[in-house]
A and B are shown apart, each in its own frame.
Chain A
Amino acid sequence: GEDVEQSLFLSVREGDSSVINCTYTDSSSTYLYWYKQEPGAGLQLLTYIFSNMDMKQDQRLTVLLNKKDKHLSLRIADTQTGDSAIYFCAESFSGNTPLVFGKGTRLSVIA
């Protein structure tokens, strides 16, 4: 079945790198996503990666995908206090099946 797992909390110092990890169970996923939720707001798409890619870089964000181990990670370089939020990993499949979300990782950035 479909399941997406994330650790619930991560705390880093301002200026350090953050790495948020995610594992998923279904190897037929087509796209994998990272969504960001700031306090009191809905989720916003941060970045995504197609399942045939290993890595995607977008400014301070690096997404790594290990399809063999079904492991996805999000690295945030030079983490800032504005990066404090909940980060959700999600996977999608072909057809009309909705996204499956993880429970979210709460990132706290200490000044």
Chain B
Amino acid sequence: NAGVTQTPKFRILKIGQSMTLQCAQDMNHNYMYWYRQDPGMGLKLIYYSVGAGITDKGEVPNGYNVSRSTTEDFPLRLELAAPSQTSVYFCASSYPGGRDEKLFFGSGTQLSVL
């Protein structure tokens, strides 16, 4: 069982570069999420999606974009990387229509913007 797969695991970007963080899940989950984790700050929600074709902003969406063309994939795009986007990024998914919202997390992408 693959679960939630994130690529790449590590990446270093220069200021102003762009990149896409990939996320795929094979559990047929409707709900998918992108979080960033900064030391001592817990998890902050960037964007989420409740199904293919539907996306919503979370707490910290500025500087990011997402798309959800399929149930399985939920890529996160950084257009003009800034040092403030240095963080660990986690993708997660949850049961379709699940009232109890059990999240399954990927192993994370560590991004440094220099």
By a beta-carbon cutoff of 8 Å, the part of chain A in contact with chain B is: 8, 30-31, 33, 35, 40-45, 48, 50, 88, 92, 94, 96, 98-99, 101-104
Instruction: Report A36 CB to chain B, min CB distance, Å.
Output: 11
Interchain CB contact under 8 A, A45 and B103: yes
How many cross-chain pairs have Cβ atoms below 8 Å apart between A and B? 53
Residues in chain A near residue B90, CB distance under 8 A: 42-43
Residues in chain A near residue B100, CB distance under 8 A: 30-31, 48, 50, 92
Take A41-B108, A42-B90 as given contacts and tell me if A99 and B103 are in contact as well, using a CB distance cutoff of 8 Å.
yes
Interchain CB contact under 8 A, A48 and B102: yes
Interchain CB contact under 8 A, A42 and B105: yes
Instruction: Report A30 CB to chain B, min CB distance, Å.
Output: 7
Interchain CB contact under 8 A, A43 and B40: no
Instruction: Report A64 CB to chain B, min CB distance, Å.
Output: 19
Pairs across A and B, CB under 8 Å, 16 listed: A31-B101, A33-B101, A35-B103, A42-B4, A42-B92, A43-B43, A43-B90, A43-B103, A44-B105, A88-B42, A92-B101, A98-B33, A98-B45, A98-B48, A101-B43, A104-B42
Query: How would residues 38 to 72 of chain B score, 1 for a CB under 8 Å from any chain A CB and 0 otherwise?
Result: 00111101001010000000100000000000000
Assembly CA distance A41 to B88 (angstroms): 10
Assembly CA distance A101 to B103 (angstroms): 12
Given contacts A44-B105, A98-B45, 8 further A-B contacts (CB under 8 A): A42-B108, A45-B102, A48-B100, A92-B101, A98-B33, A98-B101, A103-B40, A103-B41
